[in-house]
């Protein structure tokens, strides 16, 4: 929408509203004009909630990966908008209640740091918790996951976004996406809000690559996906940041759309209710929706195979490390297959870039990978590291007026290092 059209529309709306309301003295203006102090972004909100946001980088999905991508883009100087359909940041880490991110270490060294680690570390410190000693190799992989207080984590993520100049739009999601000469026009909807976003780059961090799907770029999906889990607590009060919540599998849980999520919510809650009745214990805590393990993955410029993953392939265009057992949940449970001693997989930039996509990059569990590789790559520390790499790449692509695939790798690595991330081959001693 051109500015002049918008102004005309606003004027006519002003007239009709004033007419309808009888032009009472309280109504001095039906428009709000706000200039973002940090981003310099101008927003014009009309009476019917119509807004135009012009930014460099649009991050869709403020979950595990998206929060980090947005903070990174903001810190690197990009005008950044983060659109999240829920009411808080953190995604599966907060809304799903899976508040024990891993793994930031492998074989006695820290292998993922940067913004995700900063947020985890600071939220644990503020909560008076303890951090694992990464110089010790644990007997079981999960011992070095870091329990976080999901409530603090979400608020601190929001604080870091604000400090980085990232504008957050909760309760909104993209409805229509159109190519423009230098990027995208993304029409988003929220209740009482219609937002037109003009951006140079999109970072799709929706978990299931929703934006990639809207653009009709190819995605992969299994016929039968891993179950989700509904997290809750009966008996004792929930002690956030200390223990883990109880979990019940929700088979068929699918994060694809409002209908499938509604079904998963109701199935999960029904199972919890049955459990409460069976155990005759008080329900002390219940997450607002299940955690979803698996839905769509992109078909990227390369697809990480399980052989790549279990052999610790060092990709030429690796942007971050990843570490976790191969971990497929089925109807009969889960049997993690740990990686062999010394193996440290990497994630290549090309696995974050949808094949034939321009001006779009993804981060999170939807990365381009086969199912078994994905079962290890989807964990939170890896998602955070991908988020930081995607935030850096989208920012550089926006600055250079190019595509994520064309950004020189050396520039991506340099900016990642400047922002505290660990570049593959350079693991710190933690």
Ligand X SMILES: Cc1cc2nc3c(=O)[nH]c(=O)nc-3n(C[C@H](O)[C@H](O)[C@H](O)COP(=O)(O)OP(=O)(O)OC[C@H]3O[C@@H](n4cnc5c(N)ncnc54)[C@H](O)[C@@H]3O)c2cc1C
Exposure of 315 in the CB half-sphere (CA atoms within 13 A)? 24
Show the CA angle centred on residue 48, arms to residues 45 and 51, nearest 5°. 30
Helix boundaries (H) for 215-354 = 258-279, 306-311
Show the CA angle centred on residue 41, arms to residues 182 and 34, nearest 5°. 145
Q: Does 145 bind ligand X (CB under 6 A)?
A: yes
Q: Which stretch binds ligand X (CB under 6 A): 95-103, 115-123, 235-243, 270-278?
A: 95-103
Helix (H, G, I), strand (E, B) or coil at 376: helix
Closest residue by beta carbon to ligand X? 63
Q: Does 249 bind ligand X (CB under 6 A)?
A: no
Residues 344-373 within binding reach of ligand X (CB under 6 A): 364-365
The DSSP letter of residue 318 is: E
The residue within the footprint of ligand X, chosen from 39, 53, 58, 91 (CB under 6 A), is 91
Q: Which stretch binds ligand X (CB under 6 A): 84-92, 194-202, 274-282, 395-403?
A: 84-92
Round to whole Å and give the CA distance between 127 and 380: 20
CB of 356 to ligand X, least distance (A): 21
- The residue ranges of DSSP E strands in 143-295, in sequence order, are 167-170, 173-180, 183-190, 193-199, 201-204, 219-220, 228-234, 246-250, 283-286
Q: Does 84 bind ligand X (CB under 6 A)?
A: yes
- Cβ atoms of 419 and 114 closer than 8 Å: yes
CB closer to ligand X, 64 vs 123 = 64
Site size toward ligand X (CB under 6 A) is 36
The residue within the footprint of ligand X, chosen from 86, 121, 196, 221 (CB under 6 A), is 86
- Cβ atoms of 317 and 409 closer than 8 Å: yes
CB of 349 to ligand X, least distance (A): 17
Q: Does 267 bind ligand X (CB under 6 A)?
A: no
CB of 64 to ligand X, least distance (A): 3
Residues 227-246 within binding reach of ligand X (CB under 6 A): 228-229
- For the chain, the 3-state helix, strand and coil shares in percent, each to the nearest 5, are 35, 25, 45
Round to whole Å and give the CA distance between 157 and 164: 11
Q: Which stretch binds ligand X (CB under 6 A): 79-87, 177-185, 194-202, 330-338?
A: 79-87
Q: Which stretch binds ligand X (CB under 6 A): 33-41, 88-96, 232-240, 305-313?
A: 88-96
Interaction site with ligand X (CB under 6 A)? 60-66, 83-86, 91-93, 96, 98, 100-102, 145, 173, 205-207, 210, 228-229, 291-293, 364-365, 378-380, 383
């Amino acid at each position: 929408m051109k500015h002049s059209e918008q102004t005309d529309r606003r004027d006519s709306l002003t007239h009709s509203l004033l007419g309808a309301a009888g032009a009472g003295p309280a109504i001095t203006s039906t428009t709000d004009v706000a200039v973002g102090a940090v981003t310099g972004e101008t927003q014009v909100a009309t009476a019917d909630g119509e807004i135009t946001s012009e930014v460099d980088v649009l991050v869709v999905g403020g979950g595990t990966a998206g929060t980090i991508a947005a903070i990174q883009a903001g810190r690197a100087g990009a005008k950044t908008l983060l659109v999240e359909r829920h009411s808080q940041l953190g995604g599966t880490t907060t809304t799903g209640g899976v508040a024990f991110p891993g793994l930031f270490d492998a074989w006695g060294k820290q292998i993922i740091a940067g913004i995700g680690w900063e947020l985890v570390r600071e939220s644990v410190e503020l909560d008076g918790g303890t951090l694992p000693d990464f110089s010790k190799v644990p007997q079981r992989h999960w011992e070095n996951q870091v329990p976080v207080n999901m409530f603090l984590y979400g608020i601190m993520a929001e604080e870091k976004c604000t400090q980085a100049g990232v504008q957050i739009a909760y309760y909104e999601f993209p409805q229509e996406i159109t190519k423009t000469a230098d990027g995208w026009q993304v029409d988003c909807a929220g209740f009482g809000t219609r937002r037109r976003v003009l951006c140079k780059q999109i970072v799709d961090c929706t978990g299931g690559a929703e934006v990639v799907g809207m653009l009709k770029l190819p995605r992969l999906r299994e016929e039968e996906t891993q179950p989700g889990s509904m997290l809750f607590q009966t008996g004792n009060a929930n002690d956030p940041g200390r223990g883990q919540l109880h979990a019940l599998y929700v088979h068929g849980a699918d994060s694809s759309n409002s209908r499938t999520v509604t079904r998963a919510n109701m199935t999960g809650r029904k199972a919890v209710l049955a459990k409460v009745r069976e155990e005759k214990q008080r329900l002390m805590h219940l997450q607002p929706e299940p955690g979803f393990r698996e839905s769509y993955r992109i078909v990227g410029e390369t697809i990480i195979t399980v052989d790549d993953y279990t052999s610790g392939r060092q990709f030429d265009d690796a942007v971050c490390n990843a570490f976790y057992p191969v971990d497929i949940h089925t109807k009969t449970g889960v049997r993690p297959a740990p990686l062999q001693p010394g193996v440290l997989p990497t994630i290549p930039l090309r696995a974050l870039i949808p094949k034939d996509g321009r001006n779009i990059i993804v981060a999170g569990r939807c990365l381009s990978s086969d199912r078994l590789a994905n079962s290890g790559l989807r964990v939170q520390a890896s998602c955070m590291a991908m988020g930081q790499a995607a935030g850096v790449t989208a920012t550089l692509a926006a600055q250079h007026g190019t595509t994520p695939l064309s950004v020189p790798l050396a520039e991506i690595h340099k900016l990642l290092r400047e922002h505290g991330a660990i570049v593959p081959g350079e693991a710190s001693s933690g």
